[in-house]
Structure 1
C-alpha cells in the first residue's frame, strides 16, 4: 500500500528549507487545485524528483481547453515554432494562453517590451531573480519553477536560486540584490512606495530608470502569476532539471 500525506508551505516559514530539500529529493507529485504553490502531495517512499514522475506529466497543463497548434493563427504558430526550436520544448504557458489568441499576442508583446528592453542595466539574472521572488510571494508554482530554471542558468548559481524561491530574505544574495527585491516585493504586494525606496536603490547604484524596470517586471508577473493560478497551469517537466545538470551536446 502506498501512503500519501499532504503538506502545505509558503515562503516565510523557517521550516521551508528542510521542506524544499524533501521536495527536491523525495519526488513530489503536485496537487493542483485551490492553491497553486502551497499544496504538495508527497509519497513517503518515492523516487527522487530527478526521475520525473509520470503522474506529473500526465496531468492537464491547464483547466481550460488547449487549442490544437495547427488550428491557431499562423503568427502564433510561428512564434511557438521559434520558441520550441530555440528551447528544445514548448513551455506550457504558450499552450495555455493560446486559448485566447488576442490576449496571447498582447501578453507576449508586453513581456518582450519589459524583459528585453534595450538599455536596461538589470542583468538577465537580476530579472529572473525578481520573477522568482515575487512569484513565490504570490504562490505561483508555474512561474517559480519555470523562472527558477532560467535564474539557475543565468546566475550559474542553483543554490542561490533555490534559496530565493523558498525565502529570499535568508538567501545568499548581496546588498544590491536585496535592495532590488525589497522594492520588487513591495510593488508585488501593493505596499506604499516612498522616496526611501528610491534612495535605497540609489545607494546601490540603481537609478529611477532601474526602479521602473524592477516595478514593471513585478507588475507584469503579478498578472502572469494570477493567470497561472486561474488556469492551474502545470510547469513542463524539463524546467525541473534545467541549470542543475549539464546539457548533453548534440553530436
Structure 2
C-alpha cells in the first residue's frame, strides 16, 4: 500500500476497542478500510468524534435523501479540489442514487447533471457556502425555501457543507489518497 498519511498511522489492533471495532465493521461491510479512517486514527479521540458527526449527518434519510447528502459532498469537495472526498463520496453517491453517471457529472459540472430544480438550488447554495461563505445571507436561504426546501433541510445542507469543508482541509493537510476500491464502486451493476 502506498503512503496514506504524512503522519504516523496506528495499527487497528492498537486503537481503543470501540474504534477498532467500528473500523472493522466498515471493512466487513465494504470489503476494505477507507484510508481516511486509518489516517485520522493518528488522533483516536478526534477520529471518534469525526465518525460520530459524519454518521449523524450522512446516515439520516430526512429531510434530505442519502443521495442528496452525497451530492453535496461531491459538488463541494470538487470545488475544493479534494480528490479523496470526490472519489470516495462519488462512489457512495453512485450506489445511493443507483446511477453510475451521476457522480461524474456532479463532480465536474453539477449544473449538467440529471437532477431536479430543487437539487440544483441545493447544490448552488452549498457550493457558494463552501467557496464564498462570507457572502451567504438570508436571501440565499429564501431561494432554497422557494425551491421547496424547509429549514431543517437547509440546516442539514449547511452542516454537511461545513463538515466536509473541514474534512477537505484535513485530507489536504494529511495527504490522504483515495482507496483504489472506490474508483469502481457503483459503476457496474453487481451480478
Cα distance in structure 2, aligned partners of 1:73 and 1:246: 37
1 or 2, which has the higher strand percentage?
1
- Indicate the residue corresponding to 1:221 in structure 2: 164
Tell me by how many angstroms 1:247 deviates: 2.9
CA distance in structure 2 between the partners assigned to 1:126 and 1:208 by the alignment: 16
Which has the greater radius of gyration?
1
The aligned counterpart of 2:82 is 140
- Deviation per CA, 1:5-60: give whole Å up to 9, x if none: xxxxxxxxxxxxxxxxxxxxxxxxxxxxxxxxxxxxxxxxxxxxxxxxxxxxx421
Structure 1 stretches lacking a partner, 5+ long: 1-57
Give the number of the structure whose residues are more often helix, by fraction: 2
For 1:166 and 1:193, the matched residues in 2 are separated by 23
Paired position in structure 2 for 1:153:
95
**Larger relative contact order (C-alpha < 8 A, sep ≥ 6)?**
2
Aligned length: 190
The correspondence for 1:72, drawn from 15, 19, 25, is 15
Structure 1 residue 117: deviation in Å? Answer: 4.1
Q: Tell which deviates more after alignment, 123-132 or 63-72.
A: 63-72
Q: Secondary structure of the equivalent of 2:101?
A: helix
SS across alignment from 1:181: helix
Q: Deviations over 1:153-210 (max 9, x none)?
A: 1112222210111122333322111100111112112142222222221222201111
Q: Tell me if the contact between 2:59 and 2:66 (Cα under 8 Å) persists in the aligned partners.
A: no
Quote the residue 2:182 is aligned against: 239
Cα distance in 2 between the residues matched to 1:174 and 1:117: 20
Distance 1:65 1:74 in 2: 19
Which of 111, 114, 117 is equivalent to 1:172? 114
Distance 1:244 1:113 in 2: 27
Measure the CA separation in 1 of the matches of 2:52 and 2:103: 27
TM-score by length of 1: 0.72
- Does residue 209 of the first structure (1) align with residue 152 of the second (2)? yes
Structure 2 residue matching 1:158: 3-state secondary structure:
coil
**Distance across 2 between alignment mates of 1:175 and 1:191:** 25
The answer to whether the aligner puts 1:62 opposite 2:62 as a matched pair is no
* CA distance in structure 2 between the aligned counterparts of 1:72 and 1:165, rounded to whole angstroms: 34
Instruction: Give the equivalent residue in structure 2 for 1:39.
Output: none
Deviations 1:125-149 (A, max 9, x none): 1000000000001110000000000
TM-score computed with the length of structure 2 as normaliser = 0.94
Please give the alpha-carbon distance, in whole angstroms, between the structure 2 residues aligned to 1:113 and 1:155.
Answer: 19
